[in-house]
Amino acid sequence: MSLPEEISPPFHASQEELMEHAFQNMAQCLAHFPPIARLRLLAFMHLVEYPDTTKATLEVTPSGSMRLTLDTKVAPDQAHRH
C-alpha cells in the first residue's frame, strides 16, 4: 500500500492578487500574438467595457463568411494608436 500524497495547503489570495496574476499571464500571452490580433482583441475589449461608445456592425454573406466591424466615438490616446 502506498502512502497518501501530501496535500498542499490551500492558496489564499485576495481578488486583487488573483487579478494581478491573471493580468500578468495575459500580458505574457499577448506579447506572442501578431500586432493585428492584439489590435482586434483590444477593440473587442473596448466593446465589452464601453458598449455605449462603440458601434458594432456584423455582416454575414450568403456563403456564410462574417465580418464584425467595431467603431468607437472615443479617440485613442497616443500610446494606443496603430
SS3 at position 42: helix
* CA pseudo-torsion sign 42, 44, 50, 54: positive
d(CA 21, CA 45): 19
At residue 41, does pLDDT exceed 70? yes
Confidence category of residue 78, pLDDT binned at 50, 70, 90: low
Which of 8-22, 45-59, 67-81 is predicted most confidently? Answer: 45-59
Residue 74 and residue 36 in contact, taking contact as beta carbons nearer than 8 Å: no
Helices (H), the chain: 15-30, 35-49
The residue ranking higher by pLDDT, 82 or 41, is 41
| Whether the predicted pLDDT of 50 surpasses 90 | no
